[in-house]
Chain A
């Protein structure tokens, strides 16, 4: 009986979920708190870093990707990486000759 579910589908410990949830709440407080401090352009960086950290916590622990197979890792990453490709479009907007606002 070498079926993979035996190791992969052990129910994760309760502790892990509580820890993840606490992390998420702390991060939520942090992001709200930081938004009241004027850090200039750093505000965006901080807010997005925190959001990405929260996202990673949800993906890795709540969605169980940490214990998932390589294939799950691959597809979980693929969407986010491909989404970033869309920002290639910004090249147009940065260098467009200025016609009324654009």
Chain B
């Protein structure tokens, strides 16, 4: 490819290679592995909630089934599509960055922002519908469906905790994407190398994976 010039220990003053590394190859591998170890912590972070979900759905399956009917499958489906698309755009953005195509990189990054923003807007409508219908846990919670109101409240607790935590990750993603896009636009030297974008890409795909599981677990619950 020829984008990376040869380095050795003595000439590691190249702008893209930090002083503690030998060469760009080592640095890139370290960045990727570092990002993956971070994602491991993210997996455990969400993992707790997924585990709580499994436990309570196993215990309160019937009420959970009733409560899940309140969720809007169509909006959930659209949101999944939006997020999957954003993942594609992200992957294409990383690819453009690898190919040193600055304009296309910027284009794809902005496309991801648009998708993420659309996701949040849809989420906003979903949330406000729930709040208006008193389906938010807390003193205003009301449950008119069959089964225990408490168990339904736990369903919505989990729903808001998990999609909320996911939403926070999307928000953080939007902010980071904005910064990255700006850096690409002004030719900041930190994004000379594609690695920052690749690392963010890993994060973004992970957020997508979380949603890949959230969607069937919450919106497509089978009976029983």
Contacts and interface: CB of A to CB of B under 8 A. Distances in A.
- Whether A and B touch (Cβ < 8 Å) is answered with yes
Nearest to A21: B88
List 3 tightest A-B contacts by C-beta distance, closest first. A43-B222, A79-B43, A79-B40
B223 interface: yes
B157 to A, nearest CB: 17
B23 interface: yes
Contacts, number: 147
B20 to A, nearest CB: 18
Contacts of B112: none
24 contacts: A4-B29, A5-B28, A8-B28, A9-B1, A11-B1, A11-B99, A12-B95, A14-B95, A20-B88, A21-B87, A35-B220, A38-B223, A41-B224, A47-B220, A58-B212, A61-B91, A63-B202, A63-B206, A69-B29, A69-B32, A83-B50, A86-B47, A90-B55, A90-B58
A97 B114 CA distance: 52
B222 A71 contact: no
A58 B205 contact: yes
Contacts of A64: 198
Contact of A24 (B33, B39, B84, B223): B84
Contact of A9 (B28, B37, B59, B73): B28
A76 B84 contact: no
A13 B209 CA distance: 22
Given A17-B92, A43-B223, A58-B87, 17 more contacts: A3-B23, A4-B25, A5-B28, A6-B1, A6-B4, A11-B98, A17-B88, A25-B81, A25-B84, A62-B208, A63-B205, A69-B32, A76-B36, A79-B39, A79-B44, A83-B43, A102-B59
A44 B209 contact: no
B28 A62 contact: no
Contacts of A32: 73, 77, 220
Nearest to A90: B55
A87 B54 contact: yes
Contacts of B99: 11
> Interface residues of A: mostly helix, strand, loop or mixed?
helix
Nearest to B33: A71
Interface residues of A, number: 57
Given A48-B216, A50-B216, A59 B205 contact: yes
B209 A59 contact: yes
A3 B59 CA distance: 54
Nearest to B25: A3
